[in-house]
């Protein structure tokens, strides 16, 4: 395992000496000339150990130690001092330092102290990961539902969880794809290894290759140190590639090679590295359409689609709305210091009539708002957001009266479209990107519809 160590000293020669000594043991070394610079490095990089001088201009060692213990309480700190009095050493240990070394120091003694500190850091990280995975075990309870369509999902999870097959989760935005991926990992044969999630649409295209495969120091402008990519972080565990349909074509070939040959090449490093990763990909796109439009590689599609699991939209599992809503009310209410016993029949009927374009994510947001508004132990119909009652088209009712036909079809369809968009804007508090995600369209398409329908966002935000 590669470790990152930050050396803080106002003497550049000493920083270079320590960097040279530590790098021989495979440690990536960052340096800082003062305490303020050190804090900036800690905010940007994943540091495993800080080695800091005791006396420095500006923010000295004791002040830096106090800041680190306040901001990064799990991060071990070794203090260096040429003024190696018992008083300084004892004071640093009392203030939370892992250990201290005296200048001039012996390299072997330095190696022993650093190795102990890094072992301590690894233990803390393992404990954190185990606690996180225990939380994930509890989160399986969020996979709630007994509808026929959701029972098929649960059966698929049970069938594939112990295998190493690549899985493709498909479904609309908000249907719980990451939760399903975590459930597969948590209850599978890699449960004691890392679960690493990557949103392929959230990372700039120019950084995506480095994010996936890592890079060597100096590989490009800004690459000031070696970086481990997500594939290596997930080694022996599970890599969840969310929104895989947004991945650039140029990178798709490298992802395909990583899946086929189980090897990667960090940017700027020609040496191959073997990885053992179970990949779960997810998309709300129709990848076959993307393949037909030359937007997605056909060979990568079939490599990902070994075990497909389609997730139903919430409107296709109406009988699961009530138990999901009760679960969210219980957990969200407890977090807010409230206790809810149930929903009124009218509230449950209103939620059952609505079509939930944002699916489970939208339901959770709706219930969260209701738990804030509700004054009693029962959530009533009036506690629900107004957009649930915007119109019959928004809540899943009949679009037109029985036996009638609109005189102007285009106008009728535009009114239906406008109702959905207004409901999504109300749910997202006017945030257009979030509203577009709720109804499963791109931001550009959403902006086009706003202009076409004459909707002014500043007039509807409350």
Instruction: Give me the pLDDT at residue 268, please.
Output: 78
pLDDT at 87 over 80: no
Least reliable range by pLDDT among 47-56, 170-179, 201-210, 226-235: 201-210
Q: What is the spatial distance between Cα 426 and Cα 122, in angstroms, rounded to a whole number? A: 46
Q: Verify that 325 and 251 share a domain, yes or no.
A: no
44 three-state secondary structure:
helix
Q: Verify that 24 and 113 share a domain, yes or no.
A: yes
pLDDT at 324 over 80: yes
| Domain CATH number, residue 407 | 1.10.10.60
Instruction: Give me the pLDDT at residue 83, please.
Output: 58
**In the structure encoding, which two tokens stand for residue 194, read together?**
């890392």
How many CB atoms within 10 Å of residue 444? 9
DSSP E strand stretches across 237-323: 238-242, 263-264, 273-274, 278-283, 307-310
Instruction: Give me the pLDDT at residue 138, please.
Output: 45
Q: Which residues pair with 281 in a beta bridge?
A: 168, 241
Of 128, 159, 191, the last residue of a domain is: 128
Q: Verify that 281 and 159 share a domain, yes or no.
A: yes
**In the structure encoding, which two tokens stand for residue 457, read together?**
């966002």
Q: Verify that 410 and 366 share a domain, yes or no.
A: no
**Reported confidence tier of residue 175, pLDDT bands at 50, 70, 90:** very high
pTM: 0.58
Of 76, 96, 128, the last residue of a domain is: 128
**Reported confidence tier of residue 393, pLDDT bands at 50, 70, 90:** very low
Instruction: Give me the pLDDT at residue 399, please.
Output: 44
SS3 content of the chain, % helix, strand, coil (to 5): 50, 15, 35
How many CB atoms within 10 Å of residue 396? 14
Of 337, 366, 389, the last residue of a domain is: 389
Instruction: Give me the pLDDT at residue 347, please.
Output: 92
Least reliable range by pLDDT among 17-26, 123-132, 153-162, 298-307: 123-132
Burial tier of 342 (Cβ tally within 10 Å: 0-12, 13-18, 19+): middle
Q: What is the spatial distance between Cα 182 and Cα 190, in angstroms, rounded to a whole number? A: 11
Give the torsion sign (CA, 146, 149, 155, 161).
negative
Residue with tokens 């901001």: 71
Q: Is residue 17 part of a domain?
A: yes
pLDDT at 446 over 70: yes
Give me the long-range contacts of 23-31 (CB less than 8 A, separation at least 24).
25/111, 25/114, 26/2, 27/2, 27/3, 27/114, 28/2, 28/3, 28/4, 28/225, 28/226, 29/4, 29/5, 29/225, 30/4, 30/5, 30/6, 30/224, 30/225, 31/6, 31/7
Q: Is residue 79 part of a domain?
A: yes
Looking at the structure of the chain, the number of domains it has is 4
pLDDT at 14 over 80: yes
DSSP E strand stretches across 110-233: 167-170, 195-199, 214-215, 227-228
Q: What is the mean pLDDT of residues 83-88?
A: 60
Least reliable range by pLDDT among 93-107, 267-281, 349-363, 384-398: 384-398
399-409 pLDDT, tens digit per residue, is 444 444 556 66
Instruction: Give me the pLDDT at residue 396, please.
Output: 43
Instruction: Give me the pLDDT at residue 89, please.
Output: 65
Instruction: Give me the pLDDT at residue 58, please.
Output: 82
Q: Verify that 251 and 302 share a domain, yes or no.
A: yes
Q: Which residue has the higher pLDDT, 224 or 100?
A: 100
| Domain CATH number, residue 202 | 3.40.50.300
Q: Is residue 98 part of a domain?
A: yes
Dihedral, 115, 118, 120, 126 alpha carbons, nearest 10 = -130
Mean pLDDT for the chain overall: 83
pLDDT at 462 over 80: no
Q: What is the mean pLDDT of residues 41-70?
A: 88
Q: Is residue 371 part of a domain?
A: yes
Q: Verify that 260 and 365 share a domain, yes or no.
A: no
Nearest to 69 by CA among 102, 32, 42: 42
**Which DSSP string corresponds to 371-394?**
HHH--SSEE-GGGS-GGGGS-TTT
Q: Is residue 140 part of a domain?
A: no
Q: What is the mean pLDDT of residues 163-180?
A: 94
**Reported confidence tier of residue 108, pLDDT bands at 50, 70, 90:** confident
Q: What is the spatial distance between Cα 400 and Cα 375, in angstroms, rounded to a whole number? A: 36
Q: Verify that 174 and 102 share a domain, yes or no.
A: no
Q: Verify that 187 and 305 share a domain, yes or no.
A: yes
Instruction: Give me the pLDDT at residue 408, please.
Output: 63
Q: How far is CA 377 from CA 253, 322, 365, 380, in A?
A: 55, 16, 19, 9
Q: Which domain holds residue 413?
A: 401-462
**Reported confidence tier of residue 223, pLDDT bands at 50, 70, 90:** low
Q: Report whether 119 contacts 136 (CB < 8 A).
A: no
pLDDT at 309 over 60: yes
Q: Verify that 181 and 280 share a domain, yes or no.
A: yes
Q: Verify that 267 and 322 share a domain, yes or no.
A: no
| Domain CATH number, residue 111 | 3.40.50.2300
Residue with tokens 């007039």: 459
In the chain, the percentage of residues whose pLDDT exceeds 70 is: 87
Pairing mode, strands 28-32 and 4-8 = parallel
Instruction: Give me the pLDDT at residue 427, please.
Output: 73
Q: Verify that 243 and 378 share a domain, yes or no.
A: no
Q: Verify that 252 and 342 share a domain, yes or no.
A: no
| Domain CATH number, residue 346 | 1.10.8.60
Q: Is residue 137 part of a domain?
A: no
333-354 pLDDT, tens digit per residue, is 877 777 877 899 999 999 998 9
Q: Is residue 65 part of a domain?
A: yes
Q: What is the mean pLDDT of residues 206-224?
A: 76
Half-sphere exposure of 36 (CA within 13 A, CB side): 3
Q: Is residue 437 part of a domain?
A: yes
Give the torsion sign (CA, 303, 308, 314, 316).
positive
């Amino acid at each position: 395992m590669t470790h990152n160590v930050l050396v803080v000293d106002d003497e550049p020669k000493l920083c270079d000496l320590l960097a040279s000594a530590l790098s021989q043991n495979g440690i990536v070394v960052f340096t800082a000339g003062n305490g303020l610079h050190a804090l900036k490095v800690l905010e940007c990089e994943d540091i495993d150990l800080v080695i800091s001088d005791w006396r420095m201009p500006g923010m000295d060692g004791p002040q830096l130690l106090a800041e680190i213990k306040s901001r990064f309480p799990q991060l071990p700190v070794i203090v260096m001092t040429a003024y190696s009095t018992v008083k300084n050493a004892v004071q640093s240990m009392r203030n939370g330092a892992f250990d201290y070394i005296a200048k001039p120091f012996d390299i072997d003694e330095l190696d022993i102290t650093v190795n102990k500190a890094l072992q301590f850091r690894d233990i803390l990280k393992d404990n954190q990961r185990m606690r996180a995975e225990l939380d994930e075990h509890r989160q399986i309870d969020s996979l709630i539902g007994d509808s026929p369509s959701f029972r098929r999902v649960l059966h698929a999870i049970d069938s594939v969880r112990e295998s190493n097959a690549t899985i493709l989760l498909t479904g609309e935005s908000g249907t719980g794809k990451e939760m399903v991926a975590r459930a597969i990992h948590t209850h599978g044969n890699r449960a004691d290894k890392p679960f690493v999630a990557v949103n392929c649409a959230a990372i700039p295209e120019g950084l995506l290759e480095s994010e996936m495969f890592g890079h060597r120091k100096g590989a490009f402008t800004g690459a000031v140190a070696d970086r481990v990519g997500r594939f290596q972080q997930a080694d022996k565990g599970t890599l969840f590639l969310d929104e895989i349909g947004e991945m650039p074509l140029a990178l798709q070939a490298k992802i395909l090679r990583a899946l086929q040959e189980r090897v990667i090449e960090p940017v700027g490093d020609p040496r191959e590295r073997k990885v053992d990763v179970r990949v779960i990909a997810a998309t709300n796109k129709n990848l076959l359409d993307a393949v037909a439009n030359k937007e997605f590689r056909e060979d990568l599609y079939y490599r990902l689609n070994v075990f497909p699991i389609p997730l139903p939209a919430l409107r296709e599992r109406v009988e699961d709305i009530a138990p999901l809503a009760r679960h969210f009310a219980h957990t969200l209410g407890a977090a807010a210091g409230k206790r809810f016993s149930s929903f009124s029949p009218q509230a449950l009927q209103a939620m059952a009539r609505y079509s939930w374009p944002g699916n489970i994510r939208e339901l959770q947001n709706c219930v969260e708002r209701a738990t804030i508004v509700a004054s009693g132990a029962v959530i009533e119909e009036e506690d629900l957001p107004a957009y649930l009652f915007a119109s019959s088209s928004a809540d899943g009712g009949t679009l037109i009266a029985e036996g009638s036909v609109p005189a102007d079809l285009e106008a009728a369809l535009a009114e239906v479209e406008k109702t959905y968009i207004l409901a999504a804007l109300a749910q997202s508090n006017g945030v257009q990107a979030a509203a577009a995600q709720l109804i499963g369209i791109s931001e550009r398409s959403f902006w086009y519809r706003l202009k076409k329908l004459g909707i002014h966002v500043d007039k509807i935000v409350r």
